[in-house]
Amino acid sequence: MSRFWSPVVQSLTPYTPGEQPQMQRLVKLNTNESPYGPSPKALAAIRQQTSDDLRLYPDPEGVALKRAIADLHGLDPKQVFLGNGSDEVLAHVFLALLKQTDAVLFPDITYSFYPVYCKLFGIEYKNIPLGPDFEIQVADYESPNGGIIFPNPNAPTGRSIPRSEIEALLSKNKNSVVVIDEAYVDYGTESCIPLLRGANCPENLLVVHTLSKSRALAGLRVGFAVGHPALIEGLERVKNSFNSYPLGRLAQAGAIAAIEDQAHLEASSTKVIQTRAQLVKELAVLGFDTIPSSANFIFTRHPKHAGVKIYQALRDRGIIVRHFKAARIEEFLRITIGTDEQSRELIGALTEILASA
Ligand SMILES: *Cc1c(COP(=O)(O)O)cnc(C)c1O
């Protein structure tokens, strides 16, 4: 605390990311990183960019990367916005599109960065409770609002809803922006991006993606949003009032190669989905209840053992998972899907913990 802090800084409660412990030999299942490496083509492209050209500023518009993303998704490059990780994209989305007179709506249990941006930017928000099984019920989002945002699949529950429900929401909500955060879409959820193709692109749908999860590039910091060109133009205005060069040369080169390597993405996502199905089965044998997941993590609880106790006991054995001290979800653990070997270590540790409790 310093008397020089501005009033807004004094009142902030910043987002707390999952820890990145420096201990060796950890089984790290707490921040939804990919257990597999990025595309070797991305690594080669980054290496190739490591030259004296780093003295030069990068392309502020990221033209080549926008074209690669547009080509992959059947869009126009004018429909693509780039940011230093999707967290930065989301920050610009809140300021450029969701700071309105009416409150922005998002679920009571969701990505905990959303309320942090609202407080930073002075945006009113209203939490809409998830249903009894932690499902997003789109009919609950029909009141007048300054925008709607949720992840699909939702975090930290992993539950997804079909695209048809988002289309129904769009048809009822024409006067504000609907933002779908598809950070985990590659693990078995229908993307909303096809709705943005061609002349019928809705004016008010924005879809946000990251290269941090399924493309295994959390360390590179690349995210993007796609939507109507007029929404993108609003985002560009905010970005160019903040930082004209959010993506460096290495990030742009690596991201282009990663986007072009769809085969690598599909192979690693398929593996994660298989490991997830196996892990859910083995957890059920131990008595855990797991929410059906379409993500690279699961949200699970044991009816007889407190979430925080299991979290601590796993930690004592060098296995790091995520526990949230928030209403409704305190008994749950969020566990990132790792390799099959990491799943075996996890199940072994849980078997011991439950036996000794
Ligand atoms: C991980 C995550 C992000 C942020 O990803 P970055 O691109 O690494 O900033 C955004 N939204 C959700 C729901 C996430 O889980």
User: Is the confidence at residue 20, as pLDDT, over 80?
Assistant: no
34: left (phi over 0), alpha (psi -120 to 50) or beta: beta
User: Is the confidence at residue 19, as pLDDT, over 80?
Assistant: no
Tens digit of each residue's pLDDT (9 = 90 or more) over 261-282: 999 999 999 999 999 999 999 9
* DSSP per-residue string spanning 74-93: T--GGGEEEESSHHHHHHHH
Q: Supply angle C-alpha 257, 230, 96, rounded to 5.
A: 90
- Rounded distance from Cα 219 to ligand 1 centre (Å): 12
Strand pairing category for 178-181 and 205-210: parallel
Instruction: Quote the mean pLDDT of the chain.
Output: 96
What domains sit in the chain, N to C, each tagged with a CATH number? Answer: 7-37+263-356 (3.90.1150.10), 40-260 (3.40.640.10)
- Rounded distance from Cα 143 to ligand 1 centre (Å): 27
* % of the chain beyond a pLDDT of 70: 99
Give residues with Cβ within 8 angstroms of 327, minimum separation 6. Answer: none
Q: For tokens 């959390």, name the residue.
A: 218
Tens digit of each residue's pLDDT (9 = 90 or more) over 301-325: 999 999 999 999 999 999 999 999 9
pLDDT at position 89: 98
Smallest CA-to-CA distance from 262 within 70, 39, 66, 65 is with 39
Full-model pTM = 0.96
- The response to whether residue 314 sits with its C-beta less than 6 Å from ligand 1 reads no
- Atom number, ligand 1, closest to the C-alpha of residue 222: 7
Q: What is the mean pLDDT of residues 165-191?
A: 97
Tens digit of each residue's pLDDT (9 = 90 or more) over 59-73: 999 999 999 999 999
Tens digit of each residue's pLDDT (9 = 90 or more) over 82-96: 999 999 999 999 999
Tens digit of each residue's pLDDT (9 = 90 or more) over 45-54: 999 999 999 9
pLDDT at position 327: 86
pLDDT at position 186: 98
- Rounded distance from Cα 184 to ligand 1 centre (Å): 9
What b/e string do you get for 272-306 counting C-beta neighbours within 10 Å, with b at 16 or more?
bbebbeebbeebeeeebebbebbbbbbbbbbeebe
User: Is the confidence at residue 15, as pLDDT, over 90?
Assistant: no
pLDDT at position 25: 76
Mutate to test the pocket of ligand 1, among 160, 212, 215 (most ligand atoms within 8 A of CB): 212
- Rounded distance from Cα 297 to ligand 1 centre (Å): 13
Q: Confidence class of residue 4 from pLDDT cuts 50, 70 and 90?
A: confident
- The response to whether residue 85 sits with its C-beta less than 6 Å from ligand 1 reads yes
Mutate to test the pocket of ligand 1, among 82, 111, 214 (most ligand atoms within 8 A of CB): 111
- Rounded distance from Cα 183 to ligand 1 centre (Å): 6
Q: For tokens 């044991």, name the residue.
A: 302
